[in-house]
Amino acid sequence: MNVSPEQFPDAVVDASASGQAEQVAVLAGGCFWCVEAVYRQLEGVTSVTNGYAGGTARSADYSTVSSGRTDHAEAVEIKFDPKTISYGRLLKVFFSIAHDPTTKDRQGPDVGRQYRSVIFYGDDEQRRVAESYIKQLDGAKVFDRPIVTEVVPLDRFYAAEEYHQDYAARNPLEPYILFNARPKVDKVRKYFKDRVKSGT
């Protein structure tokens, strides 16, 4: 990345906050434990659920998805108040901290199609914001390499098994969490401290 998170640009095109008390974003950026840990601490985010998107109900379980032979990606479903945090702001965190959008089918130590970078849009407005932001970031040469994030329509989100929910918060000393999720959590608290929920 050519700029630090504090210099990362806001989305020029963003979604409207009017008319809806709650909106939903579905994002995939590697291991869902790490992505969930990033978003659960942001003000305006009401819930984050770990799960799978991109494939069928038949293959929406951890052991099958982990094989890398399904169409699923590990994803998070973020419910949020658009009057407090916008869709564009969620994408800013997604690209600047939650994962590396320039690596195809991998994040850090995790390799496979299930770890690909995807924005699953729920409507045309989300698609427009996502495509515009990727174009904006590529145009500004924010990253050294092109962004490989897919922007595809959300068919359905499948919640993961219960033991995957709030995993990082419940297992803070597990080595994988310490080395992979914790640094991202700390970056959010440093660079987006005015957006972090009190008490987290």
Of the residues 25, 26, 27, 31, which is catalytic?
31
Q: Mark whether 34 is an active-site residue.
A: no
Three-class SS of the chain: CCCCHHHCCCCCCCCCCCCCCCEEEEEEECCHHHHHHHHCCECCEEEEEEEEECCCHHHCCHHHHCCCCCCCEEEEEEEECCCCCCHHHHHHHHHHHHCCCCCCCEECCEECHHHCEEEEECCHHHHHHHHHHHHHHHHCCCCCCCCCCEEEECCCEEECCHHHCCHHHHCCCCHHHHHHHHHHHHHHHHHCHHHECCCC
List, by residue number, the catalytic residues. Answer: 31
